[in-house]
A and B are shown apart, each in its own frame.
Chain A
Amino acid sequence: MTTLPAPAAPAGRRSARSRQSAAGPLFVAPFMLLFVLLFLAPLGYAAYLSLFQHKLIGGTSFVGLDNYTKALQDPQFLHGVLRVVLFFLIQVPVMLLLALLFALALDSGLLRLAKVVRLGIFVPYAVPSIVATLMWGYLYGPDFGPFAQFSRHFQLPQPHFLSSSWMLGSLANIVTWEFVGYNMIILYAALRTIPGDLYEAASVDGAGAWRTAWSIKLPALRPALTMCLLFSIIGSFQLFNEPKLLQAIAPSVIDSGYTATLYGYSLAFTGQQVNYAATVSFLLGLVIVIVSYTFLLTANRRRTP
């Protein structure tokens, strides 16, 4: 009798099931409530604001999609977006390639002091980007940066890290310094989950270290690389902290529209153009979602031919 509860208690079972089905939504409710209030509501509010315009004479009026047509023809906004695209195309491949190489080196077992190396490369991730930028800003600087001191001492030409032609590279260096370790750890963690018998099979087949890396490790890293790339897309398109701080050191190089997020910030807080700032934020968010989604779709399609 104890082993067969099913026919004995159909009624009790049903009440237990309904209690369960009420429990699911209750567990999810707190998160979803805040999600609606703090995620969807601001987005909706920005979309709403973007349909209006405020003028000194005449006050606020509904203008439909005028703000969007204005933004799409606004050279400052377009330049800001193009600049982060360029930044993404240069910085992300370098960063992920380095992270991949370091992860493979750590996983190869050929390294002495592997633990120290792993932790040391990761440590910059724990440094706030504000501190990282302040620090690199001083390192780049012409006054007491070691590079400038070094070149003065040996009477070499000074490097101009903060000039307009070097700035994007200097920013890329800061971001790379901050995030290589983070990506390396993700890739390394993924490498550690490859079952050992795969390596044994490979060595029985006479595969060397490079061959193993190419044929076993890289394919296994696919999901992890996809995730790293997705986060890198999202991260580089919203570039703000680093240019905002370097702006103080190099105001002539970094203008208020240097990156798209910086432009939105300047519009809202320097220009007081709230409606237009909302439009720019909304558009930027839309661009990022489209790019990320397209990327995910192509990545998934390739995985399942």
Chain B
Amino acid sequence: MTTAISKAPAAAAAPRESAAPRRRSTNRRSTPLTIAMLAVLAYFLLPLLWLVIASTKSSQDLFDSFGLWFSHSPQPWTNVRATLTQDHGVFLRWLLNTVLYAGVSAVGAALLAAAGGYGFAKYRFRFGGAAFNLVLGAVMVPTTALAIPTYLLFAQVGLVNTPWAVILPSLVNPFGLYLMRIFAQDAVPDSLIEAGRIDGAGEARIFFRIALRLLAPGLVTVLLFTLVSTWNNYLLPLIMLNDPRLYPVTVGLASWSAQAQNGGSGASSNMLALVMTGSLLSIIPLVVAFVLLQRYWQSGLATGAVKQ
């Protein structure tokens, strides 16, 4: 499934991958180590398996049947239908909101970081060093410490309870800029930029036509990680949004879970089954994206980790 897609960037992504088989061909696989790592794997995957199984059960069955096996009357489609139609289909709206917020934020943040990183890496200008150091220092400022002040500021200018309240703060990714600067330094050779200039191309044209293509792997990494952090964000939308119709799926699920608690955690309430199924539905897109885009994020992470 993944091989077809990951073939193309593979060569560029992992420089040592081709040299690796030589070291590994010694054919000395260790069975004890494999068994130990499979046990480790169970720790990471069993909770997800539990979630998959739980999402096929009615609220009553959740209480009455063993968690790690199916009940006598699995009802996955009933649960999915109930989840998608509850409160006039609000769950689908939450998912679409999440896709919108995360998508716009990720594309915007990646492009801003790419242009900025390229600018810092390839041009010398007054205050450039100081500005970059300021951004670098900002990597250490936690987003949650920033969330409440941002809310207070947005409340002053009337931005709260709009999609922009969630998207705008996610557009600024200091670590992304840092990553793109490192990446641009090597990925875009000066000689290529110079050649573009001699051919009479403007600086913007050189960036969009030549540099951006070379920056693609780094761009995808920043895109993917902004996507994940916005997709997973809870505090920011929680404080920014009042209207349930604007909620992303994280805030929506948490509100359903609170309803399931308050409506007596008893089995009579149907909410519990909806929370389970909704949780499962909300994680499928990201898991699939990560599996399909393996090569990209793995090579991109290496950039940040190796060159500092």
The finding on whether chains A and B are genuine partners in a shared complex, rather than unrelated, reads yes
B-chain residues with CB within 8 Å of residue A162 when the two chains form the complex: none
Partner of B41, one of A31, A120, A189: A120
Report the interface size class on chain B.
35 or more
**Number of A-B pairs, beta carbon distance below 8 Å:** 306
B-chain residues with CB within 8 Å of residue A135 when the two chains form the complex: 47-48, 50-51, 279
- B67 part of interface (Cβ distance < 8 Å): yes
**Is B149's CB under 8 angstroms from A139's CB?**
no
Q: Please encode chain A, from 262 to 300, with 1 for each CB lying within 8 Å of some chain B CB and 0 for all others.
A: 001100110000100110011011001100110000000
Distance of B132 from chain A, by nearest CB (Å):
8
Most B CB atoms within 10 A — which of A41, A122, A237? A122
A-chain residues with CB within 8 Å of residue B307 when the two chains form the complex: 223
**Is B141's CB under 8 angstroms from A285's CB?**
yes
- Which residues in window 128-146 of A have CB below 8 A to B? 128-132, 134-136, 138-139, 143-146
CA distance A221 to B282 in the complex (A): 35
**Is A285's CB under 8 angstroms from B112's CB?**
no
A-chain residues with CB within 8 Å of residue B146 when the two chains form the complex: 39, 42-43, 281, 285
- B306 part of interface (Cβ distance < 8 Å): yes
**Is A35's CB under 8 angstroms from B304's CB?**
no
- B85 part of interface (Cβ distance < 8 Å): no
Partner of B37, one of A102, A127, A248: A102
Q: In the complex, what residue of chain A is closest to B283 when comparing beta carbons? A: A127
A-chain residues with CB within 8 Å of residue B299 when the two chains form the complex: 189
Stretch at the interface among A16-24, A60-68, A89-97: A16-24
B-chain residues with CB within 8 Å of residue A124 when the two chains form the complex: 44, 47-48
**Is B228's CB under 8 angstroms from A149's CB?**
no
A-chain residues with CB within 8 Å of residue B269 when the two chains form the complex: none
Stretch at the interface among A70-78, A108-116, A163-171: A108-116
- B119 part of interface (Cβ distance < 8 Å): yes
CA distance A195 to B23 in the complex (A): 11
- A234 part of interface (Cβ distance < 8 Å): yes
**Is B150's CB under 8 angstroms from A38's CB?**
yes
Distance of A217 from chain B, by nearest CB (Å):
13
Given A135-B50, A135-B279, A292-B140, verify A284-B19 contact (CB < 8 Å): no
- Which residues in window 193-244 of B have CB below 8 A to A? 197, 202-204, 207, 228, 231-232, 234-235, 239
A-chain residues with CB within 8 Å of residue B188 when the two chains form the complex: none
A-chain residues with CB within 8 Å of residue B202 when the two chains form the complex: 19
**Is B115's CB under 8 angstroms from A196's CB?**
no
Q: In the complex, what residue of chain A is closest to B120 when comparing beta carbons? A: A28
**Is A46's CB under 8 angstroms from B152's CB?**
yes
CA distance A143 to B308 in the complex (A): 49
- Which residues in window 75-93 of A have CB below 8 A to B? none
A-chain residues with CB within 8 Å of residue B45 when the two chains form the complex: 120, 123
- Which residues in window 139-197 of B have CB below 8 A to A? 140-153, 168-169, 171-172, 174, 177, 197
Given A124-B44, A134-B279, verify A190-B306 contact (CB < 8 Å): yes
- Which residues in window 18-56 of B have CB below 8 A to A? 19-20, 22-24, 26, 28-31, 33-34, 36-38, 40-41, 43-45, 47-48, 50-51, 54
- A207 part of interface (Cβ distance < 8 Å): no
CA distance A268 to B112 in the complex (A): 31
Distance of B232 from chain A, by nearest CB (Å):
4
Given A109-B23, A281-B145, verify A35-B290 contact (CB < 8 Å): no
**Is A130's CB under 8 angstroms from B44's CB?**
no
Interface size on A, residues (CB 8 A): 102
CA distance A261 to B145 in the complex (A): 7
B-chain residues with CB within 8 Å of residue A131 when the two chains form the complex: 250, 253, 279, 282-283
A-chain residues with CB within 8 Å of residue B26 when the two chains form the complex: 109
CA distance A15 to B24 in the complex (A): 56
A-chain residues with CB within 8 Å of residue B177 when the two chains form the complex: 31
B-chain residues with CB within 8 Å of residue A245 when the two chains form the complex: 254, 257
- B101 part of interface (Cβ distance < 8 Å): no
**Is A136's CB under 8 angstroms from B232's CB?**
no
**Is B306's CB under 8 angstroms from A288's CB?**
no
**Is B172's CB under 8 angstroms from A223's CB?**
no
Most A CB atoms within 10 A — which of B168, B254, B306? B306
**Is B287's CB under 8 angstroms from A126's CB?**
yes
Given A49-B152, A130-B253, A131-B283, verify A192-B16 contact (CB < 8 Å): yes
CA distance A241 to B63 in the complex (A): 26
Closest CB pairs A-B (n = 6):
A24-B123, A27-B119, A31-B116, A46-B149, A189-B302, A285-B145
Given A42-B152, A105-B33, 12 other A-B residues pairs in contact with their CB atoms under 8 A: A25-B128, A26-B203, A27-B115, A28-B115, A30-B112, A32-B135, A110-B29, A192-B17, A223-B305, A268-B148, A285-B145, A292-B140
